[in-house]
Structure 1
């Protein structure tokens, strides 16, 4: 495998490294993007490539939050059919991005495999293949014998698996910063440590963004602010039932080749990097840190919490006290900024369980140890589908948020789509299930898979 150094590794080593900086604070822009994750960075790139004057504001550093903390899967496999067209488009873009962006992103087409522990789970995968009708066209079922041949280091015998050979992986932090750097090289202004306090509007249309360092006039604003999007949209009287869950991820020491494909099975998520190190996480287990904000829109999530209560661990502790302190001491307009650079504690017990599970599933994994663990705050919506929309109530506003833990791989296609909307394209039928008003109208369904 090609060498790719373990160090430094986002998120805890993230630094400002986009490039040169503009000395003057911009008074106006053709488009202002709020949020320096992969959605905002990719959108900035495609707009700058089209010659549009873009300013991206990020309260922390580019890729410092979930876009630098995720697993790095790039998959079409087992996605909700509503977002599958975007996933297919994204997969067509990933292989050429290193050349286009002139940056290493560690893209590899390694495939993706989801093991079935039971005949019932195998049937679910088969139903998905039948439902999507050949999109992607290489998704197929593997027998237990085929799984053993593909993954000789796997200790367990399984009834089968879902496998998509065209899926792949990339390094989240590298890819996100590559988009931002390429955008800046084409004229976009990237303003880190510059939080958005509010998106301003008058007479039903946006007028710009009020940041902590000043106002930027614009007739087009893109809200790609991740877990803080609901703060900004609420001030525009737009309803977004958004919550957050905490997910723990670990990086291991290098191991022999165990799974070239991105892997999910028996409760474990695994991506083996080119240097042999592994990204490990619980397949569908999350921590919910109870805060005052947890009460907001809770009714939209209660049904799924009851159905899948085993996949959530509720915790009342420091996050609740920190949230209470912020509300008592900070002006309301600054709540969208804080915590600016949150210290998100990983679940150490879960990390150790993940390593033990990893060692039990794969031969030659016994000597592998954790190099570092971290956590990220995943913004989730009740149906686990994102919002990609141009709300009619506020002209000039585009919303791209709520990717519910599976947005990284979609990033290039979302950026291209949002840039196209900002340039005047009419939303197509693919975006209809992703409109913002579905929650206010009650026109949304259950998540395709557990949150």
Structure 2
């Protein structure tokens, strides 16, 4: 089951030309389109399925600076600022609440990880602080205790994945952007080696620039163009509860569970200590690049071998512009839910905060993340294909950093001063 997204009425007419085409109607692509349309630049968003149908609506909704890697912190800080203005910018409530985020530690060794992170962020003067066990109990009452402490950033927040992308899309269209759903892009048109349009399943659109914000599909699209992008698919599983009285409005992450209050009064819960890894061909092709990450990772990889391998194998990696593509065969990636992992999440959270024994589960889902070897996205121009800019590989962090990431992509397209230094997001670091 997929989360129900706030509906948006998009265009049924495919334009003949525009200035910029954005491939992918997830939140990063939509922010890119909104930013461009606010600058008076004609833009068309093409989505193979439905807007935000994949990870943009299936993520946990966290907007955080805490525990982000040092190169990624400037993007997170700018996104904080932009999230705070998103209701006014879109004219809708996207559910953004600056209610804080707390990560918990069972042991001093786990707490030392948070202390070391704070040292890397000292120059930014964040409102982050280390918590004692008593402070954890005061901020999140009703627990069974046993924590060595935690780390808390009151200025971190949350927003609603099922509302935000729709609001951003509506705002972009109100400012002139055109969004077309159920229209897969098959290839790029080039003139003199430079992008001059896109070939879709419904015809060609002439354009000057293309932004690829295709999430987990970007690797396959680029592979057909001869551009190498290493990303692996991993699956996060989530639970939505019915409205209930919970222990806090602060989003809480423990080693083996997380929870955050929703705008509808329920909670979004996950097993933070485990992610799904259904094997596909790319695990064999790219796995060695990820060994350092897997060794240092805080989440267990739950590797499985099943129908996903064969379904992936049946999808083409090379195709002609006249042929149907993998994007038309799989409009929406809807991974099977690992009910065992979700059951662990509920058991762990009920053990730590008994109030969740009363939780009524209303919905469960899985979302496939596109993970790069260093967990940083690629937001960069492709040197070998002038006119093509990437905004992809967000490694499960795309929702929280989308406002600044989409603006950075728009800055690169227009040649304006970038909102943050784009150096950490260069494609060349992964080549």
TM-score (norm 2): 0.94
Cα distance change on mapping 1:366 and 1:263 into 2, 3 Å: same
1:445 corresponding residue in structure 2: none
Determine if the alignment matches structure 1 residue 283 to structure 2 residue 272: yes
Structure 1: gaps spanning 5 or more residues: 1-9, 441-451
2:342 corresponding residue in structure 1: 351
1:404 corresponding residue in structure 2: 395
Cα distance in structure 1, aligned partners of 2:343 and 2:313: 31
User: After the TM superposition, which residues 98-247 of structure 1 pair with which residues of structure 2 at under 5 Å, given as runs?
Assistant: 98-135=87-124, 137-247=126-236
Which is further off, 174-183 or 144-153? 144-153
Cα distance in structure 1, aligned partners of 2:341 and 2:290: 23
2:354 corresponding residue in structure 1: 363
Query: How far does residue 431 in structure 1 lie from its aligned partner after superposition?
Result: 1.2
Query: How far does residue 364 in structure 1 lie from its aligned partner after superposition?
Result: 2.0
SS at 1:32's partner residue?
A: strand
Which is further off, 421-430 or 248-257? 421-430
Which is further off, 426-435 or 123-132? 426-435
1:269 corresponding residue in structure 2: 258
2:430 corresponding residue in structure 1: 439
SS at 1:263's partner residue?
A: strand
Residue-by-residue CA offset, 1:139-194 (whole Å, 9 max, x unaligned) = 11111221111111221232211110011111012111111111011111100000
Query: How far does residue 436 in structure 1 lie from its aligned partner after superposition?
Result: 0.4
One of 8, 27, 30 as aligned partner of 1:18: 8
Cα distance in structure 2, aligned partners of 1:256 and 1:151: 12
> Are the equivalent residues in 2 in contact too, given 1:76–1:136 (CA < 8 A)?
no
Number of positions where the alignment pairs a residue of Structure 1 with one of Structure 2:
429
Which is further off, 383-392 or 425-434? 425-434
1:414 corresponding residue in structure 2: 405
SS at 2:421's partner residue?
A: helix
User: After the TM superposition, which residues 247-326 of structure 1 pair with which residues of structure 2 at under 5 Å, given as runs?
Assistant: 247-306=236-295, 308=297, 311-326=300-315
Query: How far does residue 418 in structure 1 lie from its aligned partner after superposition?
Result: 1.4
User: After the TM superposition, which residues 57-136 of structure 1 pair with which residues of structure 2 at under 5 Å, given as runs?
Assistant: 57-135=46-124
> Are the equivalent residues in 2 in contact too, given 1:261–1:271 (CA < 8 A)?
yes
Cα distance in structure 2, aligned partners of 1:425 and 1:401: 20
Which is further off, 203-212 or 30-39? 203-212
Query: How far does residue 321 in structure 1 lie from its aligned partner after superposition?
Result: 2.6
Determine if the alignment matches structure 1 residue 335 to structure 2 residue 306: no
> Are the equivalent residues in 1 in contact too, given 2:273–2:299 (CA < 8 A)?
no
Which is further off, 131-140 or 71-80? 131-140
Residue-by-residue CA offset, 1:238-291 (whole Å, 9 max, x unaligned) = 210111011110101222131211110131121112443110111141111112
Residue-by-residue CA offset, 1:310-349 (whole Å, 9 max, x unaligned) = 7101111121232234459x98751244311233211111
2:368 corresponding residue in structure 1: 377
Q: Note the aligned Cα RMSD (angstroms).
A: 2.2
Cα distance in structure 2, aligned partners of 1:213 and 1:281: 39
1:34 corresponding residue in structure 2: 23
Which is further off, 267-276 or 382-391? 267-276
Cα distance in structure 2, aligned partners of 1:57 and 1:177: 15
Cα distance change on mapping 1:426 and 1:93 into 2, 3 Å: closer
Cα distance change on mapping 1:398 and 1:187 into 2, 3 Å: same
> Are the equivalent residues in 1 in contact too, given 2:74–2:420 (CA < 8 A)?
no
> Are the equivalent residues in 2 in contact too, given 1:197–1:334 (CA < 8 A)?
yes
Query: How far does residue 426 in structure 1 lie from its aligned partner after superposition?
Result: 5.5
Residue-by-residue CA offset, 1:342-382 (whole Å, 9 max, x unaligned) = 33211111111111111111132221121110001100000
2:415 corresponding residue in structure 1: 424
Residue-by-residue CA offset, 1:396-442 (whole Å, 9 max, x unaligned) = 111000110111110111112211222212558721111001111xx
Which is further off, 264-273 or 186-195? 264-273
